[in-house]
Amino acid sequence: MPPNQRSQTKAPGGFLPHPLDQLTIEEIGKARNIILGLHSATSIGFRTITLEEPSKKILTMFLSAEHKGELSSVTWRPPRRARILFELISKDGLVELCESVVDVGTGLEKSFEVLDKKCHAPLNAEEVAMFPEVTMASPLFKKAISELSLPPNTVIVIDPWMYGGWENPSEDCPRYMQGLVYARDPKTTNPDSNHYAFPLPLIPVMDVAKKEIIRIDQLPTGGTEDGLEVGTGSKEPLAHCKACEYVPELIPGGLRQDLKPLNVVQPYGPSFTVTGNSLVEWQKWRFRVGFNPREGATIHDVWYDGRSVLYRLSFSEMSVPYGDPRAPFHRKQAFDFGDGGAGRAANNLELGCDCLGLIKYFDGIMNDVHGKAVISKNVICMHEQDDGILWKHTNYRTGRAVVTRNRRLIIQFIITLANYEYIFAYQFDQAGGISLETRATGVVSTVPIDFGKTSPWGNIVSPGVLAQNHQHLFCVRIDPAIDGYENTVVQEESHPLPFCPEINPYGNGYEVRKTVMKTSGFADAAPQHGRIFKIVNENKHNPISGRPVGYKLVPSPTQLTLAHPDSIMAKRMAYASHHLWFTKHRDGELWAAGPFTNQSSVERGGVKDMADRKENIENDDVVVWHSFGLTHNPRVEDFPIMPVETHQIHLKPADFFSKNPAIDVPSAKNQTSILYKKGGLVSSFVTEVPQSHDGDRRKSILIVDDNSTDSIAVQKTQQQGIKACCM
């Protein structure tokens, strides 16, 4: 069947959304109206209205029919359901956080729950906007500011923050927010000036329900000699601060002028196709792109050359704990997915800026506090990217080389959370591999430090500015479908054999030790043993090797949580205590740190709880979670903007294919590559490229300096080198 018939079923009113498509504007409106009709209260505040993905058992039956080309107008479809997180606010001001699942087709509420008082919804845009307004109007805050000696006409800037962990787990905790306080450059008060270079020693704390600042926490500003003491600083906190700008027009001396354009050109269009709202086909890959307020972009139903590889792939959580032990910095911990939402914070990407080349954008459909649908434009970009050589070999006897370029398909989204930016990308290659990439950039979170002092808890990145040591602890969720949904995880290590005449007489031998993960649990990276993990299908074997078909994951041996295991910080992010977790699939279990992280005291319903069930995962519906991190002890070079810190993890086929699956990638010579000649590029001539694998004979332009006596020699060398270079 053609792709559009495979991906959607025609209904009397037109094409129905695919079961994995985001909720439409109309569906969000229906879900909202169902809740308004069922629940009476003085007011209802909507947090999230998002697709409730069909149960795996039901969805896989539909997907099977889709892949077989058996869909028709009468094919049974999984119901379209929405999960709604909302607040019921009574006349006396009592707020109850509730969660419902509704069927937007039938209008029925399938489930309803009033959540525990310890559960707090993620922050929303209205609260983030409200916090600075409430703070600036607060008598407590005005008094605290008046006690500081600030330059005339100082403009205050406030970064709203989640409150962090609640210190007494036995208490029901009110909904709080806190904020870091800064000033604009007093000399310019430019709204785009880098306020992080002018930190003030205050943290206001707000009771969200009361819309009231309940206290102002004074920050410790001392150095190594002051320990945990507060109140060591001057009443002139900005006296020794200086501007440190990143906005182009504010940078002293301007921008460098010697950079020439570097363009990505695809004159024949992209090699991918997009059908409907989510189906992507590229090379031999076929998958769907999803999006939701918490995870941002998600990948579903991944197939390669007609074989299933993954059921679902996502970035599940990220926690950023700070390592400064001085109060109130022990509360400085953000869960950027659970506390705020990666989708909510996703950038509206700009053509020619965030992604280069021929770009396909996907929009996100979310909701506002009134439950009305909001379209967020261009939250995902998809494009092709050259990533160097994919494979090459030279027959030294004949001088002939065959080389192919490694083209990747990138699905990327970028989030901004106050000071930091994070870039997340799923990368598909032509050899059956998938990489997940994270990049951290933006501005390091800063606090004030007294003049002339240094601190063991961070680094001075600008006069009077301390960038605190912290970690970025990520977790990705891998729901495999290696030739089916019954898979097994096998740990493999390489160890030296004993030096003995019976089995290793020359001492060069080593063995591969395999351990089958039979029940849910955890494991850690061990690079000293070459530890990898293979996700295999024991029911299907490779015709060449005889081993089970599979994919391998090489765990990233990064440092995990440094917070003490008994601390609230560590308890809230138990997922970050081990590199790998293996759990049995249950519908709805998508969050490494549990469904509710905001002001949590412990990880509830997270991956540790799932693993502790000790369920069978051998030859079963297993889910693999990989935690990895960046321990960030800031450099001066990280300010005013941090150059990207990049991290990748890789899933690669392991005995999944009968040979290199990229052996048929064309090795045609690039048409636009030219020689550099000192003295300038003056003119060009055209040379033919030998026939490529796809039978397409194309011309390549070679530009040389006509005034050079080497031009003929260059031409000859170039023509002779074509065969050796590509074919």
Residues assigned a catalytic role: 336, 420
Distance CA 275, CA 369 (A): 32
Q: Where are the alpha helices (DSSP H) in 39-168?
A: 56-67, 125-137, 139-146
Q: Which two tokens stand for residue 321?
A: 């704990």
Instruction: Using the Cα atoms of residue 526, residue 532, residue 535 and residue 536 in order, give the sign of their dihedral.
Output: negative
Asked whether the beta carbons of 645 and 632 are under 8 A apart, the reply is yes
319 vs 554: CA distance, rounded Å = 22
Let me know: does 598 contact 336? Beta carbons within 8 Å: no
346: which DSSP letter?
A: B
- Name residues whose C-beta falls within 8 Å of residue 159's C-beta, 6 or more positions apart in sequence: 179, 180, 181, 182, 418, 419
Q: Contact 543/564 with Cβ under 8 angstroms?
A: no
C-beta atoms surrounding 227 within 10 Å: 11
Q: Could you tell me which residues come within 8 angstroms of residue 441 by beta carbon, excluding any fewer than 6 positions away?
A: 420, 421, 422, 423, 641, 642, 643, 644, 645
Instruction: Give phi and psi for 282, each to the nearest 5.
Output: -150, 125
Report the C-alpha gap between 442 and 118 in whole angstroms: 32
**Pairing relationship of beta strands 683-688 and 699-704 according to DSSP bridges:** antiparallel
The whole-angstrom separation of Cα 294 and Cα 49 is 11
3-state secondary structure 493-519: EEEECCCCCCCCCCCCCEEEEEEEECE
